[in-house]
């Protein structure tokens, strides 16, 4: 805990004074343009990877970057999506998985999750991705996990379309959906091409994904 408190004291002393006007402007309102849904993994920091300032991203983080389909008992993820789309009017939603994801590895390698029943139940929202992944052929475990990570991003993009607020915004051309996978070691992002359903390097042709 000491290093966390020391970090805040450094922020208060050295960072905040130089950014005081920014924080003052954010004190009473926010106007983020994108909702970013990522894994809770400590190695992925959305604002760092995308170099966004405070106030620019509305963020949901959970184990496995999961988006449960909309249902009769919507939870925190559903409420946050609805608020981002309806109240904040975000124009883009990014669902971002990452390499070596522990949640996806547990699914791909059939790890026993009996000691973590809540985790096991939560990851059932990735069953569609698991079914697709299991139909593939892989040379090693890494390939299998990578496939699971990518298929999960696609599955969660399908899930988010079941949310009424997202469905309406998509129908009216008010929102765009993006699927990303971040490679921790290489510092690369692969983005889902909707017309090919394949993940390609974002840095190779960024203009393709601007709109």
C-alpha span between 161 and 69 (Å, rounded): 8
C-alpha span between 30 and 57 (Å, rounded): 10
pLDDT at 205: 86
Q: Which CATH superfamily is domain 31-41+52-209 in?
A: Carbonic anhydrase (3.40.1050.10)
Could you read off the pLDDT of 51-100 as tens digits, one per residue?
Answer: 999 999 999 999 999 999 999 887 999 999 999 999 999 999 999 999 99
For β-strands 198-201 and 188-193, DSSP reports them as antiparallel
Q: Residue ranges of the domains in the chain?
A: 31-41+52-209
What is the maximum span of the chain, computed from C-alpha positions, in angstroms? 55
Could you read off the pLDDT of 124-181 as tens digits, one per residue?
Answer: 999 999 999 999 999 999 999 999 999 999 999 999 999 999 999 999 999 999 999 9
144: tokens are: 């299998």
The model's pTM: 0.94
Cα distances from 86 to residues 48, 82, 169, in angstroms, run 26, 6, 9
The answer to whether the beta carbons of residues 83 and 35 sit under 8 Å apart is: no
């Amino acid at each position: 805990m000491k290093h966390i408190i020391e970090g805040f004291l450094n922020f208060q002393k050295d960072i905040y004074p130089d950014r005081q006007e920014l924080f003052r402007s954010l004190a009473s309102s926010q106007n983020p343009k994108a909702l970013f849904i990522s894994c809770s993994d400590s190695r992925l920091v959305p604002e760092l990877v995308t170099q966004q300032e405070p106030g620019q991203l509305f963020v949901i983080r959970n184990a496995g970057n999961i988006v449960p389909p909309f249902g009769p008992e919507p939870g925190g993820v559903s409420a946050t999506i609805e608020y981002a789309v309806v109240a904040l009017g975000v124009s883009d939603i990014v669902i971002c998985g990452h390499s070596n994801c522990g949640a996806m590895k547990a699914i791909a390698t059939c790890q026993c999750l009996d000691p973590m029943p809540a985790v096991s139940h939560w990851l059932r929202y990735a069953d569609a991705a698991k079914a697709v992944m299991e139909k593939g052929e892989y040379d090693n475990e890494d390939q299998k996990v990578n496939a699971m990570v990518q298929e999960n991003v696609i599955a969660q993009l399908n899930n988010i379309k079941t949310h009424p607020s997202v469905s309406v915004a998509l129908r009216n051309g008010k929102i765009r959906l993006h699927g990303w996978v971040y490679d921790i070691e290489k510092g690369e992002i692969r983005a889902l091409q909707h017309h090919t359903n394949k993940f390609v390097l974002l840095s190779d042709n960024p203009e393709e994904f601007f709109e």
